[in-house]
Amino acid sequence: MGTRFACAVAFSGVLLLSGSFSGAQQASGVVAAIAPAIPIGAGDLIEVTVFGQSDLSGRFRINEKGDVVIPLLGLVHMAGMTADDAAIDINARYIQAQILNAGQQHVTVFISEYATQGILVNGEVKTPGVFPALGVRMLNDLLTAAGGLTPTASSKIVITHKSAPDNPTTIEYNPEAVPPLVPQVQILPGDTILVPRAGIVYIAGNVTRSGGYVLDGQHSMTVEKLMALAGWGGRAAALDHAHLVRTLGNGSREDVELSVNRIFKGKAPDIVLKDGDIVWIPTSRGKLVTEQAISSALGIGTSIAIYRTQFQ
């Protein structure tokens, strides 16, 4: 355990992510040809077409009780039916009322708006929220509608289907592609998309590229790897007196002094870093101030360079 330390830091830089995360490029995957058979619900907007009868056709809103007023038929209960079921039911009612000829299917129904079964996109996207489920919606389209991924987005996306809330599906994608390569997965009304935050480790002080480095979740990040990514120490860097600051489970902080030189030479074990760890490389004979300065600097999100690590 090293001594407590303090240091004034001033981060500067911009996000060094190549390209924008605002889009998501299509990749190979399952592509649906037709919209799913989703039951009609209260508030939905249906489009009824009666062949050769334009006065019977139109767009109608389902009320809060699941009913809708159909021309010449009056109030018809539609909630719980699929679009095909609704078309068969309306057609049968018109035949029974001797408005249409028997033996033929004259009516088609299309659900043009799922008012109560939107799709929730949450987590590390720029504009999270509920998006309308109009027709066939793909994961790629919904991420784009949500403004794209943030620089700290994980390389995994969790999809929870309304029909199976206890069995979420995890989708892996390549966030390092420009734009990110997202598999084509169909999203149904009522589903939830969660983009988790990736782990981040920080390096500050006398290094070439200070800032935050995103963990991809598939490879471990060690002090030696982080130093290599940060371009090693600058002039007069005190590599034998580096510090690792780690936040413990109870919220307190642990300060460990370590020697990067000894780790590099294999004389000391390399340390696997965890999400939120801060590595500080001081300058020889540099003036130390307060440890809180690190936390303050890391809290200024727009002034910290965020780097995505690329592993082979």
**pLDDT tens for residues 145-179?**
999 888 888 888 999 988 888 999 998 887 666 66
How far is the C-alpha of 45 from the C-alpha of 120, rounded, in Å? 20
pLDDT tens string, the chain, 312 residues long: the values are: 444 444 433 333 323 333 333 344 334 344 343 445 678 888 888 999 999 899 999 999 999 999 999 999 999 999 999 999 999 999 999 999 999 998 888 999 998 877 767 899 999 999 999 888 766 788 988 999 999 888 888 888 999 988 888 999 998 887 666 666 677 888 988 899 999 988 899 998 889 998 999 887 667 889 999 999 999 988 888 899 999 999 888 888 888 999 999 999 999 999 999 998 999 998 876 544 445 555 555 554 446 788 876 543
Report the C-alpha gap between 181 and 25 in whole angstroms: 5
pLDDT of residue 6: 40
Question: What's residue 205's pLDDT?
Answer: 87
Domain boundary among 176, 195, 214: 195
For the entire predicted model, the pTM comes to 0.59
- The secondary structure element, H or E, covering residue 25 is strand 25-26
Report whether the peptide linkage leading into residue 196 is cis, meaning its omega lies within 30 degrees of zero. no
Tokens coding 60: 């109608």
Q: Is 37 among the domain residues?
A: no
Residues in the chain, total = 312
Residue 138: CATH number of its domain:
3.10.560.10
Q: Is residue 15 part of a domain?
A: no
Instruction: Identify whether 77 is part of a domain.
Output: yes
265 and 171 share one domain: no
Domain range for 124 is 25-32+118-195
Domain termination residue (choose one: 142, 160, 195) = 195
Sign of CA dihedral 211, 216, 222, 227: negative
Evaluate whether residue 282 is within a structural domain: yes
Q: What is the DSSP string of 201-212?
A: EEEEESBSS-EE
The CATH code of the domain that includes 93 is: 3.30.1950.10
Residue 167 to residues 131, 160, 198, 234, Cα–Cα distance (Å): 22, 7, 22, 49
Q: Is residue 38 part of a domain?
A: no
Collapsed DSSP state (helix, strand, coil) of residue 232 = coil
The strand pairing partners of 123, in sequence order, are 195
* Residue 303 lies inside a defined structural domain of this protein: yes
Token pair belonging to 67: 């009913």
